[in-house]
Structure 1
Amino acid sequence: MKWLILLSLIYYLSDVEGLKVLVCFPLPVKSLSILGQGAVRHLMEAGHDVTYITVYPLKLQAKNFRQIDISSNVALVAKDETLTMGYVLNHKLERNHPYQIQEFAQEAVRMTLNHENVKKLLEDPNVHFDVIITDLMESEVYTGLAVLYNCPMVWLYSMGAHWQVLRMIDVASNPAYDPDYLSPNMPPFTFAQRVEELWSRIYWQYLKTFYTQPEERRIYEAVFGPLMAKRGRALPDYEDVMYNASLVFANEHDATRNRLSTPQNFKYIGGFHIEEPVKPLPKDLQELIDNSKHGVIYFSMGSFLKSNSLPRKLVMELLQMFGELKQTVIWKFEDNSLQDVPKNVHIVNWAPQPSILAHPNVRMFISHGGQLSSLEAIHFGKPVIGVPVFFDQFTNIFKAERNGYALRVPLSHNLPKDLKPAITTMLTDDRYAKKAKELSALYHDRLTKPGPALVYWVEHVVRTRGAPHLRSPALHVPLYQRLYLDLLAIILTIVSTFMLLLMKICKKKTNVKRNDRKKTN
Structure 2
Amino acid sequence: MLQDVVRWGCFLVCMAACVESANILFVIPFSAKSHYISLSPIGLELARRGHNVTVITAIAEKNPPPNYHQVMADSPEIWDVLGTEKPNIFTMADMTASEFQDKILWTGGLAMTEVALKSKPVQEFLKQDNKFDLVISEQFYQEALNVLAYKYNAPLALVTTIGNCMRHNLLVGNPLQLATIIGEHLQIRHPSSFTGRLYNMYHVVRDYLDWKYSFLPKQEALVKKYFPELSEAPSLYDIQRNTSLLLINSHFSYDTTAAYLPNIVEIGGIHVTNQSLSGISPDLKKILDESNHGFIYVNFGSNVKSSELPIEKKNTFLKIFKNLKQTVLWKWEDDNLENKPENVVIRKWLPQKDILAHPNIKVFVSHGGLIGTHEVIYYGVPVVGVPIYGDQYYNIVLLEEAGAGKLLMYHDINEKTLGDTLNEVIHDDSYRRNMKELSRRFKDRPMSPIDTAIWWLEYVIRNQGAGYMKNPGRELSWIALYMIDVYVVLAVSMVGIVVAITKVVKLMRSPKSVKKNKKQKAT
TM over 0.5: yes
* Structure-to-structure mapping, 1:226-265, within 5 angstroms: 226-228=228-230, 234-265=232-263
The aligned residue for residue 320 of structure 1 is: 319
Tell me how far apart the structure 1 counterparts of residues 247 and 494 of structure 2 sit (CA, whole Å): 48
**Count of aligned pairs:** 501
**SS state at 1:242 partner:** helix
Contact 1:319 1:342 in 2 (8 A): yes
Cα root mean square deviation, aligned: 2.9
* Contiguous gaps of at least 5 residues in structure 1: 508-521
Tell me how far apart the structure 2 counterparts of residues 81 and 320 of structure 1 sit (CA, whole Å): 32
User: 1:74 offset after TM fit, Å?
Assistant: 2.4
The aligned residue for residue 330 of structure 2 is: 331
Tell me how far apart the structure 1 counterparts of residues 111 and 42 of structure 2 sit (CA, whole Å): 24
Change (3 A) 1:491 1:417: closer
**SS state at 1:178 partner:** coil
**SS state at 1:388 partner:** coil
The aligned residue for residue 70 of structure 1 is: 73
Choose from 202, 216, 219 the match for 1:199. Answer: 202
Change (3 A) 1:400 1:51: same
**SS state at 1:277 partner:** coil
Q: Deviations over 1:235-272 (max 9, x none)?
A: 22333212111111111123115222111111111111
Change (3 A) 1:187 1:166: farther
Q: Deviations over 1:187-239 (max 9, x none)?
A: 44332232222222232233223321221222223323x2336xxxx322333
Tell me how far apart the structure 2 counterparts of residues 253 and 144 of structure 1 sit (CA, whole Å): 29
Choose from 202, 210, 216 the match for 2:213. Answer: 210
User: 1:80 offset after TM fit, Å?
Assistant: 4.9
Q: Deviations over 1:174-199 (max 9, x none)?
A: 43332211111044433223222222
Tell me how far apart the structure 1 counterparts of residues 54 and 470 of structure 2 sit (CA, whole Å): 27
Change (3 A) 1:410 1:80: farther
Q: Deviations over 1:365-423 (max 9, x none)?
A: 11111111110011101111100011000111111111110101111273454221111
- Answering whether residue 452 of structure 2 is matched by residue 448 of structure 1, we say no
Contact 2:174 2:260 in 1 (8 A): no
Tell me how far apart the structure 2 counterparts of residues 311 and 491 of structure 1 sit (CA, whole Å): 59
Change (3 A) 1:208 1:66: same
Change (3 A) 1:191 1:432: same
The aligned residue for residue 457 of structure 1 is: 456
- Answering whether residue 416 of structure 2 is matched by residue 432 of structure 1, we say no
The aligned residue for residue 292 of structure 2 is: 293
Tell me how far apart the structure 2 counterparts of residues 381 and 489 of structure 1 sit (CA, whole Å): 50
Contact 1:54 1:67 in 2 (8 A): yes
Tell me how far apart the structure 1 counterparts of residues 490 and 418 of structure 2 sit (CA, whole Å): 60
Deviates more, 1:311-320 or 1:459-468: 311-320
Change (3 A) 1:494 1:375: closer
- Answering whether residue 393 of structure 2 is matched by residue 391 of structure 1, we say no
Choose from 272, 297, 313 the match for 2:270. Answer: 272
Tell me how far apart the structure 1 counterparts of residues 284 and 171 of structure 2 sit (CA, whole Å): 44
User: 1:172 offset after TM fit, Å?
Assistant: 5.2
Tell me how far apart the structure 1 counterparts of residues 415 and 27 of structure 2 sit (CA, whole Å): 40
Choose from 102, 108, 123 the match for 1:119. Answer: 123
Letter in 2 for 1:434: R
Change (3 A) 1:415 1:269: farther
Contact 1:55 1:74 in 2 (8 A): no
Letter in 2 for 1:129: F
Change (3 A) 1:346 1:462: same
The aligned residue for residue 111 of structure 2 is: 107
**SS state at 2:27 partner:** strand
Change (3 A) 1:40 1:276: same
Q: Deviations over 1:132-173 (max 9, x none)?
A: 111112442222010111111111111222423323432451
Tell me how far apart the structure 1 counterparts of residues 484 and 430 of structure 2 sit (CA, whole Å): 51
Tell me how far apart the structure 1 counterparts of residues 283 and 98 of structure 2 sit (CA, whole Å): 39
Tell me how far apart the structure 2 counterparts of residues 242 and 412 of structure 1 sit (CA, whole Å): 39
Tell me how far apart the structure 2 counterparts of residues 315 and 77 of structure 1 sit (CA, whole Å): 28
Letter in 2 for 1:84: N
Tell me how far apart the structure 2 counterparts of residues 387 and 198 of structure 1 sit (CA, whole Å): 26
Change (3 A) 1:165 1:420: farther
* Structure-to-structure mapping, 1:88-103, within 5 angstroms: 88=92, 92-97=94-99, 98-100=101-103, 101-103=105-107
Change (3 A) 1:120 1:494: same
Change (3 A) 1:84 1:26: farther
The aligned residue for residue 147 of structure 1 is: 150
**SS state at 1:314 partner:** helix
Tell me how far apart the structure 2 counterparts of residues 160 and 441 of structure 1 sit (CA, whole Å): 20
The aligned residue for residue 33 of structure 1 is: 36
**SS state at 1:264 partner:** coil
Contact 1:178 1:187 in 2 (8 A): no
* Structure-to-structure mapping, 1:408-419, within 5 angstroms: 408-412=407-411, 414-419=413-418
User: 1:343 offset after TM fit, Å?
Assistant: 1.8
Contact 2:90 2:388 in 1 (8 A): no
